[in-house]
Amino acid sequence: MTFWDNLPKPFFVLAPMEDVTDIVFRHVVARAARPDVFMTEFTNTASYCSEKGNFSTRGRLEHDASEQPIVAQIWGTNPDNFATMAAGLASQDFAGIDINMGCPAKDVVKIGAGSGLIRQPDTAIKIIQATKQAGLPVSVKTRLGFSRVNEYLTWLPTLLQQDVANLTIHLRTRREMSKVNAHYELIPEILALRDRISPQTKITINGDVQDYTQAMKLFNEHPGIDGFMIGRGIFRNPYCFDHCNKTPSQSELLELFRYHLDQYDKYRQIMPNERPELVRNFDSLKHFFKIYIKDFPGAADLRTELYSCTTTNQIRDALNNWFTK
């Protein structure tokens, strides 16, 4: 039994998203409507295992007790690095480890990592086995195949035979990137594969799921699904995990934006002196403006004003000026 077995059915996971789902934004999502499981952004095993990289990857792995169960997502190609990193993560209070076998980025695929592992099943197996040595529950996040959809017929059984605790499937191939609709029509066959090969493995569906309500419709059609992972839906509605389909008011979004700024200061600005690994480019904060500043007259103008800010206090002043006009 692992924590995956003690989750509600269906459970909800905030998708790992690089430069998005760091500790700051995870706290924001938790305040809005909390998912059942959090994951870190993907973190490179080779960097972690090199002394310099270990420093730079620490910021990605930053988490706290309020986020449990939180899973560290890791990627790479060398099974020894996975074993070393898994042992390190086991002492850092993570609930589990997720292996990225789905990233489509060229630089990642070029070295055979991420979705590149779909074409190297032997290495993928060695990586899973190496990661398991640390004793934490191991899950995998992947795609249907590399070039062709029907690769899932051999690729998913390969993973299921490794007895992973959870298998998250982004229902597209690497070639499809995010350009076509997710292949929901394959859900029944995927569940049948799981039931036949590894009934204890949880199946988490990912791809185009916008919110709790849409997920529950899918769940009613396919009650064998264990969980749903939502990524970009969080940009559309930061309350997307809310069970009552909450559409936040403008003042609630503004309050959440201010909370986001406070969390940013807490983790990215106040500690840098002691915790330089947590420092990030200020521009990364700008990805989020569209979540909060939208759907009212002048929203685009206000966003333009915010894009020129270089500190969180400037952002706060701009918001105060705008909303007291």
Residues 6+ apart with CB under 8 A from 259: 27, 28, 31
Site string for ligand FMN, 47-86 (x = CB under 6 A): --------------------------x-------------
For the purposes of burial, counting CB atoms within 10 Å of the CB of 207, is it exposed (0-12), middle (13-18) or buried (19 or more)? buried
The distance of closest approach from Cβ of residue 188 to ligand FMN in the complex, given in angstroms and rounded to an integer, is: 20
The distance of closest approach from Cβ of residue 218 to ligand FMN in the complex, given in angstroms and rounded to an integer, is: 12
In the bound complex, which residue of the shown chain has the CB atom lying closest to ligand FMN? 231
Q: What is the dihedral angle through the alpha carbons of 269, 273, 276, 279, rounded to the nearest 10 degrees?
A: 10
Q: Which residues pair with 74 in a beta bridge?
A: 43, 99
- How much of the chain is in helix, strand and coil states, percent to nearest 5? 50, 15, 35
Of 18 and 277, which has the nearer Cβ to ligand FMN?
18
Q: What is the dihedral angle through the alpha carbons of 271, 277, 279, 280, rounded to the nearest 10 degrees?
A: -150
- 230 near ligand FMN (CB under 6 A): yes
- 232 near ligand FMN (CB under 6 A): yes
The distance of closest approach from Cβ of residue 173 to ligand FMN in the complex, given in angstroms and rounded to an integer, is: 13
Answer yes or no: are the C-beta atoms of 234 and 196 closer than 8 Å: no
In the region spanning residues 149 to 208, those forming contacts with ligand FMN, defined by CB under 6 A, are 170, 206-208
Q: Which residues are catalytic?
A: 103
- 10 near ligand FMN (CB under 6 A): no
Give the residues lining the site for ligand FMN (CB under 6 A): 15-18, 20, 41-42, 73, 100, 102-103, 141, 170, 206-209, 230-233
